[in-house]
Structure 1
């Protein structure tokens, strides 16, 4: 008889299981639920109505959000048995960034709706787990503070293309200065989609000064605000209605603006900053001609996020970008849009194996990560799950959600017989016959 293979080497999956079960023997439970449905319910209980509407809500009737999940349901994993694989390598490299696993944290704006100093907590959680964090352009903490919180850990920066070109350059220069390893230009939000959950509450965080910290910490934006104030000084303007809601909005603007509360309360700047942001944060006329200027404006690798059509993907590749994120913005922009996973299949077929493709929208578990990679993604972006972890347990919640997703991904690899990221391909999946 031949000697049996050694037991599977410990990896993040078995390590995470061991931690949870050892703690359980001592009467301790995880800070966040380990199944997504339970996590989502816990986060909803922990969140305000405004926070839940913004983070969990989608466009229109929510069909795109459902499409994203149904797309995963249409695929089944086919494990191989007696494969003898005892070692797994989860590491990979995308856009010159070394990843311990094929996972990055997606940019999510206005995170302070879920927890105070949200971006700092997320940054620390990402650094603790080794997962790169894509700083949101609509964050609640300046990118410089987030970078300091991460130390030497990897970070990227998301860019919303402002209608003010000097502001675009200023944000790019700041991203370079904080050691961002790539800039992710979000293409699908040149204006906000129709979001009933927010609309029903009349709630737009940015109008209250929430989620505009990258702007209020930017020197070019300061100049624009001062110009706006100077332009209206001395003019007769319509007095705003004084209501309880107006007072609450003023307090929010004052509290979220840099500086001392009482000084801000006496100043026109916080209100002018929120109004200026709403006017210039995005450019409805964004075009491929704009994007073609990026190579001359930054030394950072360029990633385009929000592409769903094969022709747009081909054009991005022809433009020489470093990666494309196949994304429908988590179902938040267009109701009834194609699922990101379905678009991934078409785009990979159109551009071939060489270009780097990341998948965003719909990732809920480690098994989802496995399916996405098998169908052509080089890595994935995780969004709502870590925000739900933040709502339930702050930084610890972020860390546990990340560790849980990576653990399940590792165990899926172990149980299917995949040795490495490069090993995961269409051989491991089939159309789901029961769907």
Structure 2
């Protein structure tokens, strides 16, 4: 890239090599005079988990990053169902309108998304086995990053793309605390051929519920089928290890949480091969009043900035939107972080604030409805937990066009400058 003398030279350290970190690196690679390096704690860069949903909002940002055409694997999810896991009653069905243009919603393997992003990142910009230990604010000299292996580097800007258990956030926001939500998730992938004889409805993407658990089934492409099962226990009584993220777990342990389900569902869980389950403890934290810190030398993207525990099922999309907007803000202000980071805050902070408000409102409505039911039956409790569109427009998330959002801000800035 040509050096532009009018644009400030900027050293960027991206902590974390997930979708948010990779997307940020791709977006920054298109900005003059930016030198970005990804520091990832893992020895091998790989995704932990099973499937991931790619909807309109995520396709939009992948297109802007130049990655959309690289992601070619996945399974269409035009139909989504919610079922009673004990009786098999269908509680809701959502048929997404098939649009004549554009890419449709899919469920894909997380590894496929990561591979697509990686193919657009210069391998020389990624450093593995770099676990962040400490950050030091060096004032006008930037930020010093100290890694567990003894490596020390300096950066003008640190991007915390290190997830809900973010070391960057915990350092720059020392009073912030995430807590166990009570929910534990177990994920597995297995061949569709191993389970397709059980129930034809298992071929439809959807959730099967009891009052405190659910089992999610979906194709993810290439003949693979995903199970994502969740169980909730009162966090005041039960605890979880903050590091319980993608750890192997015994089949019997998982199956013990879903004994109330239909025999076909229990059999599907039983067909996961030994060693196939991974356990994830769900943590969440309060809304942040800023996504930037240390006099505009630190910024958070993705789950580190909004610890919502995957509440909207579009976290990778949000993280990639963050990275793209950060790059546009830096480009607009010629890498002046004192102007670019407040602009990033102004665009993304209200978006996440709206998510927190929406979740609080939904929780209040469900609590109020349970009170009116008095002593609700099993089936009434299941129906009450189902989140459907209910006439509420959620296009601000799932059809979000981040390019249009940026253009509107750029026009507004042009009018006021």
- TM-score bucket (shorter structure): under 0.3
Higher percent of residues as helix: 1
Higher percent of residues as strand: 2
TM-score (norm 1): 0.26
TM-score (norm 2): 0.27
Q: Which of the pair has the greater relative contact order for Cα pairs under 8 Å at 6+ separation?
A: 1
